Structure 1
Amino acid sequence: MNTVYIKNLAIGEGKPKICIPICGKTKADILNEAENILKLPADIIEWRADWYEEIFDPAAVGDSLAALRAVIGEMPLLFTFRSVQEGGEKGISPQKYMELAQLVCESGMIDALDVELFMDSKINPMIVDMAHQHQIVIIASNHDFRKTPEKDELTRRMILMDEMGADILKVAVMPKSKTDVLELLSATEEMGRLYTEKPVITMSMGPMGLISRLAGEVFGSVLTFGAGEKASAPGQISARQLEMVLNTIHDNMGGEL
């Protein structure tokens, strides 16, 4: 597996990294959450900007982003607008999605950008190219809150992410059975073994899928999401609990996997 650096954070080496989301609705909420996250075992912060009340005001976004960067310092920052069709808080047109991506890329304040695989086949390559011109890492993503597709479909989607030029490939799905969780874990292992050298992030959501958030080092998922003040997706546990489990698994694997 290749290593991808987000600032000085090595994605794809050692135990899975912990990302904690910020889901504040106002600038004050965002900055307060950021200050609290700095007290937690976070490796990277995600700003879930679809929660932000003024997300469609470019001046407000720029101001809040600069203030957020001032609070978190050199902590790596992932910018995500999760669309409503993939479980986010707001709808957005492809054109507005592109404009928002351009705004945050040109701000110089972010280190990684989430791009939804199925947002738009025409604008996605443009966003990837633009981000790379600004030395910003692209995490391509796909979320299914209704079901878990079959393994072949999961790997197909990650292969499409690879082909569109993403640096890191991410899939999150909802299980309806224990077999669905195994399907996701199997796809994760197979993706890294057969189809790509790029880092992969996968998770099975909800309580049934919790094991997938914990066992990434075994199956090949390089990053997991922990909850700070609030969870951004079903099944997230607190970052402190997450750190303990990840450390326990890592310390007892003995470099065998």
Structure 2
Amino acid sequence: MTNFINVKDIQIGVGTPKICVPMTGRTVTDLLAEAELIQSNRNYVDLVEWRVDFFSEFEDLSKVMTTLSSIHGLLEDLPLVFTFRSLEEGGEREIHPSYYFELNKAAAKSGMVDLVDVELRHREEDINQLLSVIHENGRFGILSSHNFAATPSKSEMVEILERAKKLGGDIPKIAVMPTSARDVLALLEATVEMQEKYPETPIITMSMAGQGAISRLSGEVFGSSVTFGALKKASAPGQIEVADLKRTLEMIHHSLLK
């Protein structure tokens, strides 16, 4: 039986994939405007991700925490994912690993985020320490891997997701770039294999760019529990506008019930 993670009454891992919208503002003013826009489109949004690597003052921890407080105040009823995506994994900026972990630990301890995205590329001992802080504070950890250059083989993608699970990630995540239709199929096959082997663990998988768009729509069929949609600015290639995404996900869901 498939298990799920419950975050503010949002059940991640059952039913229709949950729609997560990224916030990519570079200034506090931009971010608060995004938060207000998200609230005005609340019917299309299940989760919000703050992509801190877009924020111009990310190096100032106190400023990040103050801004997080403002965002939380506007989006208090929506689950919030805290993410600093490094340059190596398709993000906007690179930071020193020590600050990366300091930043994420501070977010986990703040009580203002519900999930923290942790990149799987870091040292296992550092990941374990951060996950301990996340779990001690009653939050969930997404262990993620992003490849903006290519799509690994199906078996390699399953290995990456299994490693994330074995390290204690509550939600293993992988995003890859396709160069052919077969790459997209490989991602979907890896998703099905993980869902069949570990039905108790919600996962997030996606094939990026236009060629991989089907993977953002078909999560309920193949086993991916969250999909990312654009409301203002996409944070990755291939993100679909949330209203179109919502309609398509609901259409697929109702078809599966017939």
Q: Same fold (TM over 0.5)?
A: yes
Report the alpha carbon displacement of residue 196 of structure 1 after superposing the two structures with TM.
Answer: 5.4
Distance 2:34 2:187 in 1: 31
Q: CA deviation at 1:195?
A: 4.3
Match of 2:175 in 1: 172
TM-score by length of 1: 0.97
Question: What letter is aligned with 2:40?
Answer: K
Does structure 1 retain, via aligned residues, the 8 Å contact 2:109–2:133? no
Superposed displacement of residue 171, structure 1: 0.4
User: Deviations 1:158-211 (Å, cap 9, x if unpaired)?
Assistant: 010001101011100000000000000000000111245210110000000000
Aligned partners of 2:199 and 2:252: how far apart in 1? 24
The more displaced of 119-128 and 160-169 is: 119-128
Q: Is the CA contact (8 Å cut-off) linking 2:35 and 2:71 kept in structure 1?
A: yes
- Paired residue total: 255
Does residue 154 of the first structure (1) align with residue 157 of the second (2)?
Answer: yes
- Secondary structure of the corresponding residue to residue 175 of structure 1: coil
Deviation at 1:119, TM superposition (A): 2.1
> What is the alpha-carbon distance in structure 1 between the residues aligned to residue 197 and residue 65 of structure 2?
41
Counterpart in the other structure of 1:126: 129
**Which deviates further from its counterpart, 95-104 or 174-183?**
95-104
Q: 1:67 aligns with which of 60, 66, 70?
A: 70
**Aligned-partner Cα distance in 1 for 2:163–2:137:** 23
Q: Aligned partners of 1:10 and 1:73: how far apart in 2? A: 17
- TM-score normalised to structure 2 length: 0.97
Q: Which residue of 2 aligns with 1:209?
A: 212
Give 2:222's aligned amino acid: F
Please report the RMSD computed on the Cα atoms of aligned residues, expressed in angstroms: 1.0
Provide closer, same or farther for how the CA distance between residues 106 and 123 of structure 1 changes in structure 2, counting only shifts above 3 A: same
Contact 1:94 1:123 in 2 (8 A): no
2:193 is matched with 190
Give the distance between the partners of 1:7 and 1:173, measured in 2 at CA: 29
1:1-257 to 2 correspondence within 5 Å? 1-40=2-41, 41-195=44-198, 197-254=200-257
Could you tell me how far 1:122 is from its partner in structure 2?
2.1
CA distance in 2, matches of 1:120, 1:96: 14
1:8-45 CA-partner distances (Å, limit 9, x unpaired): 21101111000000000001101100110112210000
- Which residue identity lines up with residue 45 of structure 1 in the other structure? V
CA distance in 2: counterparts of 1:145 and 1:4, whole angstroms? 28
What letter corresponds to residue 209 of structure 1 in structure 2? G
**In the alignment, residue 34 of structure 1 is paired with which amino acid?**
A
Instruction: For residue 202 of structure 1, give the secondary structure of its aligned residue in structure 2.
Output: strand
CA distance in 1, matches of 2:162, 2:57: 34
Paired residue secondary structure (1:25): coil
Helix, strand or coil at the partner of 1:110: coil
CA contact (8 A) 2:3 2:199 kept: no
Aligned residue identity for 1:205: M
Q: Residue 50 of structure 2: SS of its match in structure 1?
A: strand
Structure 1 residue 6: Cα displacement = 1.9
Contact 1:159 1:195 in 2 (8 A): no
Letter matched to residue 132 of structure 1: H
Residues 12 and 199 in structure 1, CA contact (< 8 A), matched pair in contact too: yes
Tell me how far apart the structure 2 counterparts of residues 196 and 91 of structure 1 sit (CA, whole Å).
Answer: 35
Using the TM superposition, give the Cα deviation of residue 5 of structure 1 relative to its aligned residue in structure 2, in angstroms: 1.4
